[in-house]
Amino acid sequence: MQIVIGLFLLLLIVTLLAAHFEKITHRTKMQILKIAALIFALLWLYEWRVDAHDNHVRELYLAFKNGTPVVCDGKEITTEHFFFETGTESFISLDDKGIVYPVEQCEIKDD
C-alpha cells in the first residue's frame, strides 16, 4: 500500500509542476487527478478486503489451534479430527478422506 501512496503522491507532484510551468492545461490536470484518485480508491478498497479476509483466517486458525471449536457448514471442527491447510486455507479431515471445508464456510463457535 505504501507503494501505491508513493506513486499517487509522485503523480500529484508531477501534475502540479506540469500545470505550474503550463505544460498541461488545468482541465487535463483535473482529469489526471480524478483518474488517479479513482485508482487509489479502488486499490484501497481491495487492500481493505484482503486485510479483512486475512484477519478472518487468522482468527479461525488461532481459535482452532487453541481448542475453541470452529463450525463449518453446521459441523464442529476440532484438532482431533481435522487439520488446517495454510496453502488452501481450508480444514481437511484426518478421518474421512475428501472432506474439506474452506474458511469462507467457517465461523468460531459461540457458546
Domain locations in the chain as residue ranges: 1-54, 67-111
Residue 101: partners with Cβ closer than 8 Å, 6 or more residues away: 72, 73, 75, 77, 82, 90, 91
Torsion of CA 15, 28, 25, 3, to 10 degrees: 0
Contact 34, 82 (CB under 8 A): no
Cα–Cα dist 89/94, whole Å: 16
Q: What torsion do the CA atoms of 99, 102, 107, 108 make, to the nearest 10 degrees?
A: 70
Instruction: Spell out the per-residue pLDDT of the chain, length 111, in tens.
Output: 677 777 778 877 877 777 677 777 778 878 877 888 888 888 888 888 989 999 999 999 999 999 888 999 888 988 888 899 988 899 999 887 788 999 998 999 876
Q: What is the pTM of this model?
A: 0.68
